Amino acid sequence: MRGTSLINKVRMTFYPMAGSISEQFENLLQTLQWIKVNKPSPNEVYEWLKAQFRLSHYFARDVYTVLLISSGLVKVSNGRCYLTGDGKVISATSSHITLLEVFEKSFAGVAAILEVLRTKSNLRGEILKATWFDLVKERFPKMKDWSKRTINNQCGHRINWLRAMGFITTDEGRYSLSKSGWEFVYQYPPEGIAIQRHEIKQQEKKVDELILGSFEPFDVSTEKSSSLRQVLVRNRAFRVIVSTQYNYYCAICGFRLQAPRGVYEAEAAHIIPKSKHGTDDPRNGICLCGTCHWIFDEGLLSITPKELSLVAANYLQDKAKDLSARRYLNLHGCKIKPVINQKYTPSDEALDWHNQNIFLG
C-alpha cells in the first residue's frame, strides 16, 4: 500500500462535542454510555443528540459521523450502533489518555499541540496555532492547502478538546500545559502517541535498505540528526520488519500470543542494544517475548554465530535446581526459530558482540 493512501486513512478535520469546554468530555461519556445500553440506529443517535443537547440536525450529524464513527469509538452493524473496543475502554474508565490516543490516530495533529506547549509555554493563541501548523503540515501534506480560516478553526477544535480533557490551561488568551498536561508529556512523549502508518511505512523502506549493504553494527548519527518523533517512528519500523520475519514468534522459546486489540506479546529486540548505539539494521534484530528479551539482555542466554544455537550461561547451570532456571537451561544447544527470508538472518558480527560484551559465559 502506498504512503499517500495511508495518509488518507487519517482525517484532517476535527469536530467539537456539544456543550461548553468544561462539559464536552462528560457529554461524550454520557453519549457513549447511552449507545452502549440502547444499541440505537444511526437515526436514533441523531434524534437523541438533538434532544439531549439541543443540537441542530446538522450539528448532531457531524457529532455522530466525525466524533463517534470516524474516531472509531462507535461502529454500525446490521443497522445498529455499538461501542468499539476503544469506545468500551473510554466508557468504562473515563480515560483522558485513551481518548487522546484515539483522537490522535484518527484526526491528524491533536497531540502535536502538546509538543508545542512543552517547548514553549504561555503562548498567545495565534502563535500557538501558527507553530502547530508549521509542525503538522510536514507530517500531513494535505494540510498544506488549508486556508487561514481552516487552520484557526481546526486548531481551535483541537485546543478546546485538550482543554476539555484537562491537558491545557488558558489565562488571558495565553495557553500552557496544565499540571496533568506536564505529567502526561513526561510519561508519554506526545511525539510517540499514535504514530501514523504512513510514517512507519516511509521509515520501513529506509530501514529495509540497510540490508542491501554490508553490516555496520553501530549507528551514532540517527539520534543526533533526527527529531524525537523520527527516532520513535524508526524504532517502530524496525520492530515491524523484524517481528514479521518471525511471524511474531519468540525466536528463543517459540511463544506467540496476540491480544484482542491486535498486538503481539513478542517484539523485536536489538542484539547490540540501542543504549550502545546498536544499528537499526534488521540484521541487528531478533523477535523475543518479554521474558526471553530480559534473559538475553542480562546475558543468561546467547546465540552462536553461523549455527544460531542457544548457549546457556554457567549461572543457569549453577541454578539448575530452580525450575525457572532449568526451563531455559534446557534450551542449551537448541536452534533459534529461523527468519522467513534469509537475508534478515541475525548478523554474525552482532551475535559475536553480544557473546563478548553481554553474555555471562
Residues 307-361: pLDDT tens digits? 999 999 998 888 878 888 889 899 999 999 999 999 999 999 999 999 999 999 8
The CB density around residue 76, as the number of other CB atoms within 10 Å, is 13
Question: Do residues 253 and 326 share a domain?
Answer: yes
pLDDT at position 227 is: 76
pLDDT in tens, 116-129: 999 899 999 999 99
Question: Do residues 33 and 130 share a domain?
Answer: yes
Residue 104 to residue 259: CA distance in whole angstroms: 22
Question: Do residues 140 and 216 share a domain?
Answer: no
Contacts of 181 (CB under 8 A, 6+ apart): 114, 117, 162, 166, 167, 168, 169
Q: Which of 137, 157, 191 is the last residue of a domain?
A: 191
Residue 227 lies in domain: 197-357
Binning pLDDT at 50, 70 and 90, where does residue 297 land?
A: very high
Q: Sign of the C-alpha dihedral, residues 98, 101, 107, 109?
A: positive
Binning pLDDT at 50, 70 and 90, where does residue 284 land?
A: very high
pLDDT in tens, 61-99: 989 998 899 888 999 999 999 999 989 999 999 988 888
Question: Do residues 10 and 152 share a domain?
Answer: yes
Question: Do residues 163 and 73 share a domain?
Answer: yes
Question: Do residues 150 and 183 share a domain?
Answer: yes
Nearest of 239, 329, 338 to residue 280 by alpha carbon: 239
Residue 34 to residue 196: CA distance in whole angstroms: 31
What is the average pLDDT score of the chain? 89
Is a pLDDT exceeding 80 seen at residue 1? Answer: no
Q: Which of 158, 191, 224 is the last residue of a domain?
A: 191
Using alpha carbons, list the distances in angstroms from residue 62 to 14, 17, 70, 178, 207. Answer: 10, 9, 10, 29, 40
Count of domains observed in the chain: 2
Question: Do residues 218 and 323 share a domain?
Answer: yes
Here the CATH number for the domain that contains residue 147 is 3.90.241.10
Question: Do residues 33 and 152 share a domain?
Answer: yes
pLDDT at position 221 is: 63
Question: Do residues 80 and 151 share a domain?
Answer: yes
What percent of the chain is modeled with pLDDT above 90? 58
Strands (E), the chain: 74-77, 80-83, 123-124, 168-171, 174-177, 267-270, 285-288, 301-303, 310-312
Q: Which of 191, 222, 249 is the last residue of a domain?
A: 191
Read off the pTM.
0.67
Question: Do residues 20 and 64 share a domain?
Answer: yes
Q: CA angle, 299 as apex, 296 and 302 as ends, to 5°?
A: 65
pLDDT at position 293 is: 96
C-alpha cell at 20: 461548553
Question: Do residues 211 and 158 share a domain?
Answer: no
Q: Are strands 80-83 and 168-171 parallel, antiparallel or unpaired?
A: unpaired
pLDDT at position 339 is: 96
Residue 53 to residue 45: CA distance in whole angstroms: 12
- The DSSP symbol for 252 reads T
Binning pLDDT at 50, 70 and 90, where does residue 37 land?
A: very high
Q: Sign of the C-alpha dihedral, residues 221, 224, 230, 232?
A: positive
Question: Do residues 147 and 225 share a domain?
Answer: no
Contacts of 142 (CB under 8 A, 6+ apart): 7, 12
